[in-house]
Amino acid sequence: MDAVFHEDAVMEWPQSGERIVGGDNRRGVCHAFPRLPKITPHRVIAEGDLWVAEADLDYGDGAIYQTVFIFEMRDGEIAKETAYWSQPFPAPDWRAQWVERT
C-alpha cells in the first residue's frame, strides 16, 4: 500500500469512528489485520484529484462487504481515503411494486 499512499495520508472510516493518520499507523493497522480482504473492484470514477471506487471486499469468512472508497489525490498518490462498507441486507417488501431486484 505504501506505493499508492502519501506518507502523511489520512484514512477515515466514518462508520466505526476511526481515523488513521500517517504511514506508521497505516502499516500498523494493515499488519495487525486478522485477514486482509480480497478486493474486487467494480467501478472507478476520477476527476482531477478526486477518485471514487466501488468494490466488494471478501475477508474469507463468507461475508461480502459492498464498499465505496473516496480518494483525494495529491501528486499522483492518495492523500486521504474515506471508506464506507456494508453487508447486503434484504429489501423491505413494501417497496417491491416500485423497484427492480438486482
What pLDDT, on a 0 to 100 scale, did the predictor assign at position 101?
86
Using the 8-state DSSP alphabet, how is residue 37 labeled? P
Each residue's pLDDT, cut to its tens digit, for the chain (102 residues) gives: 789 999 999 999 999 999 999 999 999 999 999 999 999 999 999 999 999 999 999 999 999 999 999 999 999 999 999 999 999 899 999 999 999 988
User: Residue written as cell 456494508?
Assistant: 86
SS (H, E, C) 76-102: CEEEEEEEEEECCCCCCHHHHHHCCCC
Instruction: Please give the pLDDT value at position 102.
Output: 85
* CATH 3.10.450.50 holds for 5-98: yes
pLDDT of residue 75: 96
User: What is the number of other CB atoms lying within 10 angstroms of the CB of residue 85?
Assistant: 17
Query: Where are the chain's structural domains?
Result: 5-98
